[in-house]
Amino acid sequence: MTRKQYFIIILILGSLATISPFSIDMYLPGFPAIAKDLNTTIAQVQLSLTAYLVGISAGQLLYGPLLDRFGRKKPLYVGLFIYILTSLACAYTESVNSLIIMRFLQAIGGCVGMVAAQALVRDIFPVNKTAQAFSLLTLVIAVSPMVAPTVGGYLTAAFGWHSVFVILAVITALIMLGVYFALPEGQQADASISLKPKPVLTNFFTVLKQEQFLLYMLAGGIATAAPFAYIAGSADVFMNIYHVSEQEYGWIFAFLAFAMIGSTQLNHIILNKFKSESVIDFTLIYQTVVGVLLVVGTYYGWFGKYALIALLFIFLTGQGLLNPNATALSLAPFTKNTGSAAALLGSFRMAMGGLMSAAVSVLHTGTTLPMVSVMAACSVVGLIILLLGKRTIRYRANRRSVEDDTSVLVSTASDMN
């Protein structure tokens, strides 16, 4: 594979994976305008974000078996087409309830890009190169929060919030063309994979029995849900509490997204000297410390707008280190059922993201505390699961080793007799 081919593949895979981040971030500056236009509250509009995250979670479980059964591209085309249609429906909705429903269906279509991108990385690149590939993929994904809210803010101010969904449909149509003309097929269709409920569930349970996958899915999935709490609460915090404009909010969001971009590139360098396991350990510890500081400082009123932005920047830097390494370690054990593994991984992450965004909405107090508290909780729980999970895996490995040694001794003694 030439460098040019490598670049094109990463760009297309990254674009597929950015469909959902764009769908989440691009309409955030329009929350006040949507609430006003649809005669509802910002808290109700936030539920359209929760509906999108729930849709991603459910949809990925659907696409995992489909991508393994029919190959990567056919389900990809179907999902992207559904996304384009529902994006246009969102643009012309006239009530918040219909917006919530359309956002759910939009997510069902768009989430195929996330599952397919992860599965194709595992298909195309060797195991020892997947963490680096995921780092570059995360870099492309991380650019979207920089661009999406800024573009969304200007579009909303100039043409209204409806235009955001029209642009999303156009962008996805262009990505579909890139998939058709330049993306490798990846793993071929496997007719032996059944789509009946029992075999599908059996495949999922087989994946979940893999200890390394389960550990990094749980710890990484909960920890990487922290940015969703930030996304759900940031528009209210900065635009209603600190009274910034739509355009200024877009620039703040872009600046904080740069935290993930920089750390993603740093991760690419760090992996030349350290293992992914060590990077995840360090990241969760420091995010926990910063998260607790955010909660305590917010409770006692220590932070102004700029101090809050600075600490959020430090906290979000960890996502560029955590996300690609947790993904690589989760998928590394698999050569078969990769689509199902990627679906479970993505589904769990989005489910946690939806839960955290809903928690911010439910705990809404008109202050910054709900947002930072949920963010900190994600890191604390993720760290606890990681530490307990590693201890459990080591204990079971040692126990199996003792049992194997005992079996050998018994067998040897029996032979001697």
Question: Assign residue 272 a region: left if phi > 0, alpha if psi is -120 to 50, beta otherwise?
Answer: alpha
pLDDT at 303: 83
**40: pLDDT strictly greater than 60:** yes
| Burial class of residue 140 in the structure, from the number of CB atoms within 10 Å of its CB (0-12 exposed, 13-18 middle, 19+ buried) | buried
DSSP state of 241: I
Q: What's the rounded mean pLDDT across residues 334-350?
A: 76
User: Over pLDDT 90: what percentage of the chain?
Assistant: 15
Region class of 301: left (phi > 0), else alpha (psi between -120 and 50), else beta: left
pLDDT bucket at 274, cuts 50 / 70 / 90: confident
pLDDT grade, residue 412 (50/70/90)? Answer: low
Q: What is the mean pLDDT of residues 221-226?
A: 86
Answer whether residue 382 shows pLDDT above 80.
yes
Q: Using 50, 70 and 90 to split pLDDT, how confident is the model at 153?
A: confident
Highest mean pLDDT among 103-117, 222-236, 317-331: 103-117
Of 42 and 339, the one with more pLDDT: 42
Please tell me which of 1-5, 138-142, 258-262, 291-295 the model is most confident about, judged by mean pLDDT: 291-295
Residue 205 in this model has a pLDDT that exceeds 60: yes
Is 414 a residue whose pLDDT tops 60?
A: no
The string of DSSP codes covering 279-311 is HHHHHHHHHHHHHHHHHHHHHTT---HHHHHHH
The more confidently predicted of residues 128 and 189 is: 189
> 188 near 71, Cβ under 8 Å?
yes
Q: Residue 333 pLDDT more than 80?
A: no
Q: What is the amino acid identity at position 116?
A: A
Most confident of 68-72, 148-152, 377-381: 377-381
Q: Which residue has the higher pLDDT, 240 or 106?
A: 106
Under 8 Å CB-to-CB from 326, ≥6 apart: which residues?
216, 219, 220, 221, 223, 224, 276, 280
Q: What are the DSSP E strand ranges found in 8-115?
A: none
> 309: buried, middle or exposed (CB in 10 Å: 19+, 13-18, 0-12)?
middle
Q: What is the mean pLDDT of residues 6-21?
A: 84
Residue 347 is predicted with a pLDDT of: 77
Q: Give the integer Cα–Cα distance in Å for 226 and 292.
A: 13
Query: Is residue 410 pLDDT above 70, yes or no?
Result: no
User: How high is the pLDDT of residue 47?
Assistant: 85
CA distance 46 to 296: 26
- Angle between helix axes 3-25 and 162-182 (nearest 10 degrees) is 160
| Predicted confidence band of residue 219 (pLDDT cuts 50, 70, 90) | confident
Are 67 and 90 within 8 A, CB to CB? no
Write down the H helix ranges in 161-241: 162-182, 197-208, 211-223, 226-236
Contact residues for 382 (Cβ-Cβ < 8 A; gap 6+): 219, 220, 222, 223, 284
Q: Per mean pLDDT, which of 17-26, 122-131, 137-146, 406-415 is the most reliable?
A: 17-26
| pLDDT at 151 (0 to 100) | 83
Q: Identify which of 374, 348, 404 has the alpha carbon closest to the alpha carbon of residue 64.
A: 348
DSSP secondary structure code for residue 128 in this structure: G
Flag whether pLDDT at 413 surpasses 80: no
Q: Name all domains of the chain by residue range, CATH numbers in brackets.
A: 9-187+199-401 (1.20.1250.20)
pLDDT digits (tens, 9 = 90+) for 247-257: 787 788 778 87
pLDDT at 314 over 60: yes
Helices (H), 92-124: 96-110, 112-124
Q: Where are the alpha helices (DSSP H) in 26-41?
A: 31-37
Q: Is 209 exposed, middle or buried (0-12, 13-18, 19+ CB in 10 A)?
A: exposed
Sign of the torsion formed by the C-alpha atoms of 389, 392, 398 and 402: negative
Average pLDDT, the chain: 82
Mean pLDDT of 352-378: 83
Q: Rg of the chain over CA atoms, in angstroms?
A: 22
Say how far apart CA 229 and CA 217 lie, in whole Å.
Answer: 19
Give pLDDT, residue 73: 87
Q: Are 217 and 231 in contact (CB under 8 A)?
A: no
Confidence of residue 400 (pLDDT cuts 50, 70, 90): low
Residues with Cβ within 8 Å of 201's Cβ and at least 6 positions away in sequence, in order, are none
Q: Is residue 76 helix, strand or coil?
A: helix
**Distance in angstroms (rounded) separating the CA atoms of residues 187 and 193:** 13
Q: In angstroms, rounded to a whole number, what is the distance separating the alpha carbons of residues 329 and 212?
A: 7
CA–CA separation, 249 vs 305, rounded Å? 12
pLDDT for the residue numbered 356: 86
Q: What is the pLDDT of residue 1?
A: 67
pLDDT of residue 141: 67
Separation of alpha carbons 381 and 219, rounded Å: 8
Answer whether residue 81 shows pLDDT above 70: yes
Kindly report which listed range (130-134, 161-165, 269-273) carries the lowest average pLDDT score.
130-134
Answer for the pair 373, 363: CB distance below 8 angstroms, yes or no. Answer: yes
pLDDT band at 406; cut points 50, 70, 90: low
Is a pLDDT exceeding 70 seen at residue 344?
Answer: yes
To the nearest 10 degrees (0 to 180), the angle between helices 246-270 and 305-331 is 40
Q: What is the mean pLDDT of residues 244-268?
A: 76
